[in-house]
Amino acid sequence: MTTEAAIRVQGIQKSFKDLHVLRGVDFDVAAGTIFALLGSNGAGKTTLVRILSTLAKADAGTATVHGLDVAANPGEVREAISLTGQFAAVDEVLTGRENLMLIARLRHLKNPGAIADELLDRFSLTEAGGRKAATYSGGMRRRLDIAMSLIGNPPIIFLDEPTTGLDPQARIEVWQTVKKLADAGTTVLLTTQYLDEAEQLADRIAILHKGTIIQNGTLSELKQLLPAATVEYVEKQPTLEEVFLTLVGDTGETDTDDADRADSAAKAGKESR
Amino acid sequence: MTTHVLSDTRVLTGRSLTHILRSPDTIITTAVTPIALMLLFVYVLGGAINTGSDESYINYMLPGILLITIASGIAYTAYRLFLDLQGGIFERFQSMPIARSSVLWAHVLTSVVANLVSVAIVIGVALIMGFRTGASVGAWLAVAGILAMFTLALTWLAVVAGLSAKTVDGASAFSYPLIFLPFISSAFVPTDTMPAPVAWFAENQPVTSIVNSTRALFAGEPVGSEIWVALAWLVGILVVAYVWAMSIYRRKIS
């Protein structure tokens, strides 16, 4: 692992007509780390991710991903990244296994079937692999979505609000997946509006507010800056979650490798909604 | 990356063809309305219509029915493209190192395949209802070519609708006027029975020349100069729709 920045964002600006969404954003993400971009709805998180993943062009500033300028070399950047957008980008008509094979084929890899089976196993979806993705629970769909992003082992992964709309068990499953990714050396940039999510996952956290980064640091650095009221909210949230998980039976945490358990967790997730 | 255009298009076309195989109702519903129209016109209205030729009425009106089939079938292309855009899978494809045009071409090729299947079903029903043709293999190929070009031209219009629609309904609503167009043409009644302004419109809109050419090919008669008018319309619509769709697509992905 190098200390060189996997993602470097300098002075990025973006406007939609009169709306200045990004007003000069700067930050670096070190390779192999998890970087959380924290911000409320409409803060510009998704716009920034879209620029970094070559889906949108910045009005000003430069961004390099994996040492490549996103504006000048979008094609090469796409070889190095994977995007998991805000809405699970799975093909609902295809089965889980077919979804994975589709992406493997589009990445021009050999043995798409073997790649699909390996990922189904890794994400506890082996049993559900032959079913249409439309029948999946929110958590399973998100796991499939992330699994699709891992095909071809891109060194950098963007996760745009990966747990929005998920129930607590599914959220924990996603968190575990993200942690495993970073352990394996993948650089992860994730956006979230949940403070506890950034707290759980991120090596560094940047707060995007009104189009600029107003703070950027490790959790302990930031904790000293946050107003007391916010800290209280963060501490209360896990307590309620603990109660909830105890009441419904915490199945998400331990057995990510067991398809049966994951399925029942997904079912429990459905019922809890 | 352009080296992957063919393989990426093939993979993505396989994906959308799978969609159709898993919901064959999209092909059946495409065929049902034209078949119902055919039954209505042949067994209810047809007896009262004087086409001025010795041909059976079903022989007379089948070309128009086939165009209606295609015009309603392409709405599903706009619908499927719109769903891809909505669901986020479009953005996933765009963020991957795949040839960018393959995403659209896959939908277009799927549309051609699906519509030709629908057309084949309608022709099958027409044969049962008494449609007869002495067309040679060459004439059949020419008909297939005209219908394929008509499908391609309208499909690129469907791409425009699918890319720019705001709602699912909007994505498919654009096809209604296209479905209606054959009614104001030579498809069901000779244009000289219409009031002058309507007849003028009917004679100068693309459907009439396409219908007349197809009808002549099925009847084994010479197509005359009408075929060139038909081809000019087809190529013209195809080029305009393609350029329009591509410019919207480029704006969308940049």
CATH number of the domain encompassing residue A12? 3.40.50.300
Contact status, residue A51 vs residue A70, Cβ threshold 8 Å: yes
Mutation to test the A interface, candidates B92, B94, B252, most A Cβ within 10 Å: B92
- Chain A residues closer than 8 Å to B13 by CB: none
pLDDT for position A210: 86
CA distances from A219 to A11, A173, B31 (A): 24, 22, 61
Would the CB atoms of B18 and A81 count as touching at under 8 Å?
no
Report the residue of A46, A97, A103, A105 to disrupt the B interface, i.e. the one with the largest count of B CBs within 10 Å: A105
Task: Say yes or no for a CB contact (<8 Å) between B7 and A86.
Answer: no
Q: Give the predicted TM-score (pTM) of the model.
A: 0.82
* Average pLDDT, integer, range B21-25: 87
pLDDT number for residue B48: 79
Going by the DSSP 8-state scheme, the letter that residue B52 receives in this structure is S
Distance CA B208, CA B198 (A): 13
Kindly report the number of other CB atoms within 10 A of residue B147's CB atom: 22
CA neighbor of A233 nearest in space, from A273, A193, A176: A193
Average confidence score pLDDT of chain B: 89
The whole-angstrom distance between B94's CA and the closest CA on chain A is 7
DSSP code of residue B42: I
> For residue A132, which residues of chain B lie inside 8 Å, CB to CB?
22
**Torsion on CA atoms B50, B56, B60, B62, rounded to nearest 10:** 140
Across B224-247, average pLDDT: 92
Q: What residues in A contact B97, CB-CB < 8 Å?
A: 75, 78-79, 107
- Residues 80-99 on B with a CB inside 8 Å of A are 87-89, 91-98
Dihedral sign for Cα B112, B113, B114, B117, please: positive
Q: Which residues of chain A have pLDDT under 70?
A: 1-3, 225-239, 250-273
Residue pLDDT, tens place only, B104-140: 999 999 999 999 999 999 999 999 998 888 888 999 9
| CB-CB contact of A198 with A175 (8 Å) | no
- pLDDT in the model for residue A264: 46
Cα(B11)–Cα(B109) distance, integer angstroms: 12
Would an 8 Å CB–CB cutoff place A196 in contact with chain B? no
- A25: which strand partners? A12
The residue type at B240: V
Q: What is the DSSP code string of A30-92?
A: ETT-EEEEE--TTSSHHHHHHHHTTSS--SEEEEEETTEETTT-HHHHHHHEEEE-SS----S
Specify the pLDDT at position B2: 52
> Containing domain of residue A163, as a range?
5-272
Label the pairing between strands A60-65 and A68-69.
antiparallel
- Please give the radius of gyration of chain A, using alpha carbons only, rounded to the nearest integer: 19
- Residues of chain B with C-beta less than 8 angstroms from the C-beta of A148: 92
Residue A172's pLDDT is 86
- Residue B43 DSSP one-character state: I
H-run or E-run covering A268: helix A259-272
Q: Where is mean pLDDT largest: A126-130, A236-240, B51-55, B85-89?
A: A126-130
Per-residue pLDDT tens for A186-203? 999 999 888 888 888 999
Question: Residue B237 is encoded by which pair of tokens?
Answer: 């619509």
Question: Do residues A156 and A80 make contact, with C-beta atoms less than 8 angstroms apart?
Answer: yes
The answer, for A106 touching chain B at a CB cutoff of 8 Å, is yes
Element housing B86 (H / E): helix B75-87
The tens digit of pLDDT for each residue in B165-220 reads 888 888 888 888 888 888 888 888 888 888 888 888 888 889 999 999 999 899 88
Q: Do A55 and B253 touch (CB under 8 A)?
A: yes
| DSSP code of residue A19 | E
**Interface test mutation site (partner B, options A55, A110, A150, max chain B beta carbons within 10 A):** A55
The answer to whether residues B20 and B73 touch, using CB atoms and an 8 Å cutoff, is no
Residue B105 near chain A (CB below 8 Å): no
Write down the pLDDT at residue A267: 45
* Chain-chain contact of A55 with B18 (C-beta, under 8 angstroms): no
How many domains, in total, are found in chain A? 1
